[in-house]
Amino acid sequence: MRRLLQILALELAGALAWPVAAWGGDSPPTGRTLGDAQRGALLIAQYQCGACHAIPGIASARGTEGPALAAYGLRSYIAGRVPNRPDLLARWIAQPSALVPLTTMPDMGVPEQDARDMAAWLSEQR
Protein backbone atom coordinates (compact mmCIF):
# COMPACT_ATOMS: atom_id res chain seq x y z
CA MET A 1 0.00 0.00 0.00
CA ARG A 2 2.84 2.39 0.86
CA ARG A 3 4.46 1.76 -2.53
CA LEU A 4 1.16 2.51 -4.30
CA LEU A 5 0.85 5.81 -2.45
CA GLN A 6 4.41 6.75 -3.43
CA ILE A 7 3.69 5.99 -7.08
CA LEU A 8 0.47 8.00 -6.99
CA ALA A 9 2.25 10.95 -5.35
CA LEU A 10 4.95 10.92 -8.03
CA GLU A 11 2.40 10.71 -10.82
CA LEU A 12 0.39 13.57 -9.36
CA ALA A 13 3.51 15.72 -9.01
CA GLY A 14 4.43 14.98 -12.61
CA ALA A 15 0.92 15.72 -13.86
CA LEU A 16 0.88 19.07 -12.09
CA ALA A 17 4.33 20.06 -13.35
CA TRP A 18 3.89 18.84 -16.92
CA PRO A 19 1.67 21.60 -18.32
CA VAL A 20 4.15 24.26 -17.23
CA ALA A 21 7.25 22.37 -18.36
CA ALA A 22 5.69 21.32 -21.66
CA TRP A 23 4.98 24.92 -22.65
CA GLY A 24 8.69 25.46 -23.21
CA GLY A 25 10.81 28.51 -22.61
CA ASP A 26 13.82 29.06 -20.40
CA SER A 27 12.04 30.20 -17.28
CA PRO A 28 8.86 28.94 -15.66
CA PRO A 29 5.72 30.98 -16.32
CA THR A 30 4.69 33.34 -13.58
CA GLY A 31 0.94 33.47 -14.11
CA ARG A 32 1.14 37.12 -15.22
CA THR A 33 -0.48 38.28 -18.41
CA LEU A 34 1.90 37.20 -21.14
CA GLY A 35 0.53 38.88 -24.24
CA ASP A 36 -1.13 41.85 -25.91
CA ALA A 37 -4.78 41.84 -24.85
CA GLN A 38 -5.90 44.28 -27.54
CA ARG A 39 -4.41 42.04 -30.24
CA GLY A 40 -5.93 39.05 -28.44
CA ALA A 41 -9.46 40.35 -29.00
CA LEU A 42 -8.80 40.64 -32.73
CA LEU A 43 -7.33 37.14 -32.81
CA ILE A 44 -10.31 35.65 -30.97
CA ALA A 45 -12.49 36.99 -33.78
CA GLN A 46 -9.99 35.91 -36.46
CA TYR A 47 -9.82 32.32 -35.18
CA GLN A 48 -13.63 32.32 -34.99
CA CYS A 49 -13.78 31.24 -31.36
CA GLY A 50 -17.32 32.64 -31.38
CA ALA A 51 -18.44 29.80 -33.64
CA CYS A 52 -18.52 27.65 -30.49
CA HIS A 53 -18.46 30.19 -27.63
CA ALA A 54 -20.58 33.19 -26.69
CA ILE A 55 -18.03 35.89 -25.91
CA PRO A 56 -19.18 39.33 -24.75
CA GLY A 57 -17.17 42.06 -26.46
CA ILE A 58 -16.43 39.99 -29.57
CA ALA A 59 -18.71 40.75 -32.51
CA SER A 60 -20.69 37.76 -33.78
CA ALA A 61 -19.40 35.45 -31.01
CA ARG A 62 -22.69 33.76 -30.21
CA GLY A 63 -21.79 30.07 -30.27
CA THR A 64 -23.53 27.56 -28.03
CA GLU A 65 -21.43 24.40 -28.50
CA GLY A 66 -18.79 25.45 -25.97
CA PRO A 67 -19.25 27.29 -22.69
CA ALA A 68 -19.91 31.03 -22.67
CA LEU A 69 -16.72 32.95 -21.88
CA ALA A 70 -18.26 35.92 -20.03
CA ALA A 71 -16.12 37.17 -17.12
CA TYR A 72 -13.54 34.53 -17.96
CA GLY A 73 -10.86 36.20 -15.87
CA LEU A 74 -12.84 35.44 -12.72
CA ARG A 75 -12.87 31.69 -13.28
CA SER A 76 -10.77 29.38 -11.14
CA TYR A 77 -10.30 26.59 -13.69
CA ILE A 78 -9.92 26.01 -17.39
CA ALA A 79 -12.24 23.22 -18.55
CA GLY A 80 -12.96 22.50 -14.89
CA ARG A 81 -9.52 20.89 -14.46
CA VAL A 82 -6.56 23.20 -15.05
CA PRO A 83 -5.83 26.25 -12.85
CA ASN A 84 -6.89 29.39 -14.69
CA ARG A 85 -3.61 31.25 -15.12
CA PRO A 86 -2.73 33.21 -18.28
CA ASP A 87 0.24 30.94 -19.08
CA LEU A 88 -1.84 27.77 -18.81
CA LEU A 89 -4.74 29.40 -20.65
CA ALA A 90 -2.37 30.18 -23.53
CA ARG A 91 -1.27 26.54 -23.52
CA TRP A 92 -4.92 25.48 -23.49
CA ILE A 93 -5.74 27.71 -26.47
CA ALA A 94 -2.76 26.40 -28.44
CA GLN A 95 -3.12 22.70 -27.59
CA PRO A 96 -6.18 21.89 -25.48
CA SER A 97 -5.85 18.12 -25.87
CA ALA A 98 -2.33 18.28 -24.41
CA LEU A 99 -3.82 19.49 -21.11
CA VAL A 100 -7.12 17.59 -21.17
CA PRO A 101 -6.78 14.64 -23.56
CA LEU A 102 -10.50 13.92 -24.03
CA THR A 103 -11.62 17.53 -24.39
CA THR A 104 -14.05 18.43 -27.15
CA MET A 105 -12.20 21.69 -27.78
CA PRO A 106 -10.32 21.27 -31.05
CA ASP A 107 -6.64 21.99 -31.56
CA MET A 108 -6.87 24.98 -33.92
CA GLY A 109 -3.18 25.31 -34.74
CA VAL A 110 -2.89 28.60 -32.86
CA PRO A 111 0.76 29.73 -32.67
CA GLU A 112 2.24 30.38 -29.22
CA GLN A 113 2.25 34.21 -29.40
CA ASP A 114 -1.31 34.34 -30.73
CA ALA A 115 -2.40 32.06 -27.88
CA ARG A 116 -0.63 34.30 -25.35
CA ASP A 117 -2.38 37.38 -26.72
CA MET A 118 -5.77 35.67 -26.68
CA ALA A 119 -5.16 34.48 -23.12
CA ALA A 120 -4.24 38.03 -22.11
CA TRP A 121 -7.57 39.35 -23.37
CA LEU A 122 -9.62 36.55 -21.80
CA SER A 123 -7.79 36.95 -18.48
CA GLU A 124 -8.77 40.62 -18.35
CA GLN A 125 -12.48 39.90 -18.73
CA ARG A 126 -14.20 40.52 -15.40
Per-residue pLDDT reduced to its tens digit, 76-105 = 999 999 999 999 999 999 999 999 999 999
Average pLDDT over residues 102-121: 96
Task: Give the Cα separation of 8 and 6 in Å (integer).
Answer: 5
Predicted pLDDT of residue 112: 95
Residues ≥6 apart with Cβ < 8 Å to 52: 63, 64, 65, 66, 105
**Interior/surface letters 40-63, b for 16+ CB within 10 angstroms, e for the rest:** bbebbbebebbebbebeebeebeb
**So what's the pLDDT on residue 2?**
53
- Please report, for the chain, the start and end positions of each structural domain, with discontinuous segments joined by +: 30-124
CA separation, residue 118 to residues 37, 99, 107 (Å): 7, 17, 15
Interatomic CA distance for residues 126 and 123, integer angstroms: 8
Q: How far apart are CA 108 and CA 1, in angstroms?
A: 43
CATH 2.60.40.10 matches 30-124 = no
pLDDT of res. 32: 53
- pLDDT of 43: 97
Task: Give Cα separations from 119 to 33, 36, 89, 90, 122 (angstroms).
Answer: 8, 9, 6, 5, 5
* pLDDT at 93 (0 to 100): 98
pLDDT at 3 over 60: no
pLDDT tens across 27-83, in order?
444 445 579 999 999 999 999 999 999 999 999 899 999 999 999 999 999 999 999
